[in-house]
């Protein structure tokens, strides 16, 4: 596999705009998430990560600082680049950077058919299933795992 570089991208930069284009391709065109829900006000203050291969942005995610934890979201890899460990690299790098700044609690909401991806990265699902962007989701966290309970 060609080398993958993981970088942060300031909002309004060329790299962040390329990340937003990947998100539009993956979430709006492929998964039919309503366009008006895909970009939101969190994008202005989130930390955006991009995965770059051969000069192109091929994957992305964002981190949102919350009082109780850091939320990982909008994890997307272009179709042709999937299955090569790019989402794992993005998530591991973003979590390592946050941990280096003393933030150790991570949270996300996962599409219900993607739980295994995040379980491999140390997350457990909890709470009830809910619909977001037209798809079933579960909340997941990588802390207080013993008290994480799944509800019907
Ligand atoms: C989900 C997505 C981000 C995965 O990206 P990827 O780069 O292919 O994932 P990786 O190759 O890094 O996979 C990491 C691990 O998770 C597993 N995994 C990846 N996608 C998975 C899925 N859909 N279901 C279960 N496990 C999955 C892989 O097998 C791999 O396991 P391994 O490390 O033991 O080999 C990508 O398929 C995507 O963009 N999908 C559309 C958008 C989306 O659904 N985003 C997530 C919303 S919760």
Strand partners, 137: 111, 130
- Torsion region of 82: left, alpha or beta (phi above 0 gives left; psi -120 to 50 gives alpha): beta
Report the separation in Å between the CA atom of 85 and the middle of ligand 1, taken as the mean of its atom positions: 8
SS (H, E, C) 18-41: HHHHHHHHHHHHHCCCCHHHHCCH
DSSP assigned state of 84: S
> What is the Cα–Cα distance from 117 to 112, expressed in whole angstroms?
10
Q: Give all domains of the chain, ordered by start, each with its CATH number.
A: 5-147 (3.40.630.30)
Q: What is the pLDDT of residues 99-137, one digit of tens each?
A: 999 999 999 999 999 999 999 999 999 999 999 999 999
To which residue do tokens 């997350």 refer? 123
pTM tops 0.95, yes or no: yes
- Count of CB atoms situated within 10 Å of the CB of 38: 17
Which ligand 1 atom sits closest to the C-alpha of 27? 42
Q: What is the pLDDT of residues 44-99, one digit of tens each?
A: 999 999 999 999 999 999 999 999 999 999 999 999 999 999 999 999 999 999 99
- Count of CB atoms situated within 10 Å of the CB of 24: 16
Report the separation in Å between the CA atom of 86 and the middle of ligand 1, taken as the mean of its atom positions: 8
Query: Of 51, 53, 117, 132, which is best to mutate to test ligand 1, by the most ligand atoms within 8 angstroms of its C-beta?
Result: 117
- Torsion region of 32: left, alpha or beta (phi above 0 gives left; psi -120 to 50 gives alpha): left
24 neighbors 35 (Cβ within 8 angstroms) = yes
Residue 1: its pLDDT value, please? Answer: 54
List all residues whose CB is within 6 A of at least one atom of ligand 1: 26, 75-77, 82-88, 110-111, 114, 116-117, 120
Burial class of residue 112 (count of CB atoms within 10 Å of its CB; 0-12, 13-18, 19+) = middle
Q: What is the CA radius of gyration of the chain?
A: 15
Q: What is the pLDDT of residues 1-45, one digit of tens each?
A: 579 999 999 999 999 999 999 999 999 999 999 999 999 999 999
């Amino acid at each position: 596999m060609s080398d993958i570089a993981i970088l942060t991208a300031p909002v309004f930069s060329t790299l962040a705009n390329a990340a937003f284009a990947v998100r539009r391709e993956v979430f709006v065109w492929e998964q039919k998430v309503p366009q008006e829900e895909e970009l939101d006000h969190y994008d202005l203050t989130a930390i955006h990560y991009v995965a770059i291969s051969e000069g192109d942005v091929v994957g992305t995610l964002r981190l949102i600082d919350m009082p109780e934890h850091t939320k990982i979201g909008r994890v997307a890899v272009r179709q042709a680049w999937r299955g090569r460990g790019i989402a794992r690299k993005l998530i591991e790098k973003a979590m390592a950077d946050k941990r280096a700044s003393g933030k150790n609690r991570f949270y996300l909401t996962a599409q219900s058919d993607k739980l295994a991806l995040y379980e491999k990265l140390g997350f457990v699902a909890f709470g009830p299933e809910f619909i977001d962007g037209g798809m079933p989701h579960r909340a997941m966290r990588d802390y207080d795992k013993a008290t994480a309970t799944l509800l019907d």
